[in-house]
Amino acid sequence: MLVAGWHLATRVRNALTLVRGKPTDQLPTSGRELAAVASVLGHPEGDLGVVVDEYRRITRRARAVVERSFGS
């Protein structure tokens, strides 16, 4: 799960850098930037909610693993 979280975070960070033209780690929750990030990640148009849900699901699980393994 940690590997999946790391891979997704890296892909999202790279997509955000391409879209915004500067490094950032904050996923937009709506709008044109999110649509552009979704496109870079290979999601079809109209799947913006899926992108956000997938990101939250994977990062939430990775965080739970870290908290169980290393404490909060």
User: Which DSSP state fits 35?
Assistant: H
Residues 63 and 57: their CA atoms lie apart, in Å, by 10
pLDDT number for residue 7: 95
65 pLDDT higher than 80: yes
If one counts every other C-beta atom within 10 angstroms of the C-beta of residue 70, the result is 7
Alpha-carbon torsion 24, 30, 35, 38, what sign?
positive
Token readout for 38 is 């979704």
Fill in the amino acid letter for 18. Answer: L
Q: What is the pLDDT of residues 16-47, one digit of tens each?
A: 999 999 999 899 987 999 999 999 999 988 88
Cα–chain-centroid distance for residue 64? 16
58 has a pLDDT exceeding 80: yes
pLDDT the model gives residue 72: 66
